[in-house]
Amino acid sequence: MIPSPSQSTLELGPLTIHFYALCIITGIALAIAIGSRRFAAQGGNSGLVGDIAIYAVPAGIIGGRIYHVLTTPDKYLSDPISALFIWEGGLGIWGAISLGTIVAYFAFQKNPKRGELKFSVFADALAPGLLVAQAVGRFGNWFNKELFGRPLDAPWALQIPEQYRPRGFNNFETYHPTFLYESIWCIFLAFVLIRIRVLRNLKSGSIFALYVAGYSLGRGIIETFRIDEASLIFGLRLNVWTSALLFSAALIYLFKRNRLPRKSTKSSNS
């Protein structure tokens, strides 16, 4: 089985380092490094990615936390101040990507380093790095012993201490390691977006759309394994509906963005 970490923090004198936060920070650093290299390869200024990150990263964290709190409000009604304790876990990726992208767009438009390149080119450059960041960030859930799936009896099952098990599952020791499923899926998608050459023939903005579509597909499936508390709509978790909606929207964008123009035909009378 996969063991749960024995601790989620590291004490260095008066300083407490939360491994969840460390995973998030490491992921962000990797995303900036990968995005800078890819943007430079497109003719952009590699320093622009770091400039944009100064605004987009805090916005993404705030957006992710807002999404999480709004979609799981019962957890914070009795203790509203705990909504600020980000290091305890709970960042909704859809809120992070949404607000982070909006802020990144406006920061990009106002930065003179962007030159003549469009934001869609910038977004395409960032997409694989975002997936790597999400893959690393998911290990924060492992350290916090949270967001695991249904009980599982298999060599790759995740061992969860009793005090972290949901109500009704006290007698089960091992569960689906959904953090690992999502991490592997993100790394696979990042590899596809970087290495599949045919994707480079798509119009700008398509790589980011493929990132949204691909991640949504995997996330929607992985959500069906999870047993943590979540808002339900017609018996399905809210994130399943969100994933389905974004998957569909991304595919529609891809089709419209890359469809071939219709050939004009002229009729002549003889």
Domain membership of residue 188 (yes or no) is: yes
Q: Which two tokens stand for residue 231?
A: 């808002």
Q: Note the pTM of the prediction, 2 decimals.
A: 0.89
Q: Which residues contact 81 (CB under 8 A, 6 or more apart)?
A: none
Domain membership of residue 268 (yes or no) is: no
Domain membership of residue 264 (yes or no) is: no
pLDDT tier for residue 32 given thresholds of 50, 70 and 90: very high
Residue 268 pLDDT: 44
The helix (run of H) or strand (run of E) holding residue 18 is strand 15-18
Domain membership of residue 199 as a residue range:
20-257
Domain membership of residue 11 (yes or no) is: no
Q: How many domains does the chain have?
A: 1
Please determine, for residue 131, whether its predicted confidence score (pLDDT) is greater than 80: yes
Amino acid identity at 72: T
- List pLDDT tens digits, range 245-266: 999 999 999 999 998 666 655 5
- List pLDDT tens digits, range 35-86: 999 999 999 998 999 999 999 999 999 999 888 888 877 777 777 887 777 7
Residue 26 pLDDT: 96
Domain membership of residue 130 (yes or no) is: yes
